[in-house]
Amino acid sequence: MSSQLFSSLTLGRQALSNRIVVSPMCQYSAHDGCASQWQLKHLATLAGSGAGLVLIEATGVLRSGRITHGCMGLYSDENELALGQVLAFCRQAGAARFGIQLNYSGRKGSSQVPWLGGQPLSAAEDAWQTLSSSDTPDGRSRACTHEDLARIKQAFVAAAQRAVRLGIDVIELHGAHGYLLHQFLSPLSNRRTDEYGGALDNRMRYPLEVFEAVRKAIPPSVTLGLRLSATDWLPDGLTLEESTVFVQALESLGCDFVDISSGGIAPAKIALEPGYQVPLASHIKAAVSIPVIAVGLILTAEQAEDILARGQADAVALGRAFLHNPHWAYQAALDLGGVAHYPVQYERVSPAKWAGGLVPASR
């Protein structure tokens, strides 16, 4: 039986060689939003990893939409030029298609990079005013005005158009992990009393407006999806049932895929175990016809294959597993009898050319 993990998948109008996605992983190593030599090294490695799709880390649509000063942005000509130079090399380094995750950090922005503590920046560290769906109790973030909402929505559009000019195949809007679009969706963070707060129809209004504006602004050939925290894992938070309704609304607006994660709006007790978020993806997949990507401690080839074989998702996305082993897909192909794509410089390790020297991980 052929491997489902190494079967082709169509996302929107983009054909992927397999169903392995590299999740967007913040590197906190950009310079005023511009991709650095670290991003060149990181993304070039992943370009030749054997994955079908590599999603570039959360990228701010405005300078004030970044999480930290080290986060990438796509809000200036300098940002666009720097990322274009990185992508030009990456496309020579491997066969993976590239997507990008566009984000506005909201109340989680203006923070120090994680290895320096991750705390809010001080005025001396070039802090900025953070915005959210509502004023935050600590007074650090203020609620978006209607003018703010229009400006941020246009920034998503402009960043998406920059991505299109760079030849990026897939755009993913970040609606998860406690960032601005999630801050509107979750009743824990959204306490507005206008048309953007209260009932689910109102809470999902702004994320849908952003999605629709981006969809109308980019060519149909460019795949557009959204990453979603399907549950807050907290009482009175966003529920899986509400998220399912939201994804159905996205589908009606021309969404090409959803990438199902969870949590991030506030600290929660989550039972972390391999595949702990896969049931969320499975629940949503049963309610829509667009492809669904599952994430969350997917570690082994056999685990990934089983998720697809059971029909729980259409693709799997891995993050830390690729940091640990950038050639995870090579080993997965060997374990499952699939075919990975190698850069020509690495073809000598293909099982077809060196089968006697390779052993499946399961043995």
Active site residue ranges: 179
Q: 317 in helix, strand or coil?
A: strand
Q: How many residues does the chain have?
A: 363
**Structural element, H or E, at residue 88:** helix 77-93
**Structural element, H or E, at residue 21:** strand 20-22
> Which residues, in sequence order, are bridge partners of residue 223?
170
Nearest to 45 by CA among 323, 338, 341, 334: 323
Contact 102, 170 (CB under 8 A): no
Contact 18, 314 (CB under 8 A): no
**Phi, psi dihedral angles at 293 (to 5 degrees):** -105, 130
> Which residues, in sequence order, are bridge partners of residue 315?
293
Reading the block at residue 242, the tokens are 């509400």
CA distance 167 to 213: 20
- Maximum C-alpha span of the chain: 67
